[in-house]
Amino acid sequence: MLKKITIYSLLLLSSAVSTSHADKIVTVGIAPHGGAVILGGSVIPLKEVTLAAQMPGRVISIAGEEGDEFNAGDLLVKLNDDGLLAKRQSAEADLSNAHTAMKNAEVQYNRELWNPRVYNPRSTGGMAFPSMFDSFFSGQNGMGDVMDSGNKGIERHADLVTQGTQVSSARARISQAESGLREIETKLRDTQAIAPFDGVIVNKLVEVGDTVQPGQSLIVYSYSKYLRIKVEVPARLMPGLTKGMVVPARLDVNNAQINVRVAQIAPAADSTQHTVTVKFDLPEGVPGGPGMYAEVMIPDYNSPVRALPIIPKAAISRKGSLPSVRVINEEGVPKLRLIRTGDEIDENSVSVLSGLKPGERILISTGDGL
């Protein structure tokens, strides 16, 4: 029995010696670190809108499928507009008739202004002057007839008012016809869903041939060149956040660790959950897309300062879904252990939130490893 133990000890010592030649053993250090809370959130596009139907009708065309890119002003969805086109033709005809009536009313008004009927009940002739002057020169009593025509002046004023009223009515009919035409043009525009900005179709909610009603959603359209992380932050953590502040984050794609900037803080907390919606800007070109899970580290100034383990970055392996290190156990055998990293201390070191304790020994590969 003693012989077996001695052989095992020699084998263990030999393994430790060979490991020390291939890897470097370091001790996990400590670094003072303020309290922080890791919160989960979702990646969202910078802008996203849901285009809804403004008019009832049948969908006759959709510009593309989910993921297709479009420019601002492109037609995305078109509804049937045959009925509105017929109404527009009728409105254009009404407007043309109103303009014709306006011209006739203006002619009648000008004739009454320059050639009053009360002074020339018959057809006008003579000197090509208004009939008032004809009656002045050709009348039997001359100027006296004109001076005695007080009632004719009243009649002439009434005729001018009548003709002027017809001009005003014709002008009003033109305005009415133009308003009706503009209303139909607006309804025609409402049969089209236009891209409000450069972006992609995220979700198509209707198909060609569907009949829709006003308010029914057609497509979800977003601008995804720049992304954000949306997080519901407990109200007690809000004193630790300010607009423009940079905090660490982790994406659920290759466990990418990045820094994000506080872009928007909701002005009020949710009365039920007692949380505040905070949006963080992601750097351009990050992996993944909208809907992806992400984590953000929020400073917690309510918790005391605590000591966190600190290790070299070279000791971390990222072959799995989470980072891991090789820890030397009590028997001197390296064991793989998953950890959760925190802030970068410097360009070579990083803090550890969970998985390690200060004083433990870990391996740093200097060759091919184990």
The string of pLDDT tens digits covering residues 265-279 is 999 888 888 899 999
pLDDT per position as a tens digit, 244-303: 888 888 888 777 788 899 999 999 888 888 899 999 999 888 887 888 899 998 887 766
Whether CATH 3.40.605.10 fits 46-82+191-221? no
Any idea which fold 11-34+304-370 has? Answer: 2.40.420
pLDDT at position 321 is 63
pLDDT per position as a tens digit, 215-242: 999 999 998 888 999 999 998 888 888 8
Residue 356: exposure state from Cβ atoms within 10 A (0-12, 13-18, ≥19): buried
Ranges 112-121, 218-227, 280-289, 353-362, most confident: 218-227
pLDDT at position 212 is 92
pLDDT per position as a tens digit, 19-72: 444 568 888 877 655 567 888 899 999 888 999 999 999 999 999 899 899 999
pLDDT at position 139 is 47
pLDDT at position 71 is 92
pTM, to two decimals? 0.53
Comma-separated ranges of CATH 2.40.420.20 domains in the chain: 11-34+304-370
Comma-separated ranges of CATH 2.40.50.100 domains in the chain: 46-82+191-221
pLDDT per position as a tens digit, 163-217: 888 888 888 999 988 998 999 998 899 899 999 999 999 899 999 999 999 999 9
pLDDT at position 147 is 47
As a whole-number percent, the residues of the chain with pLDDT over 90 amount to: 24
DSSP 112-170: HHHS-TTT-SS---SSSS-HHHHHHHHSSSTHHHHHT-HHHHHHHHHHHHHHHHHHHHH
DSSP 35-74: -EEEEEEEEEEEEEEEEE-SS-EEEEEE---TT-EE-TT-
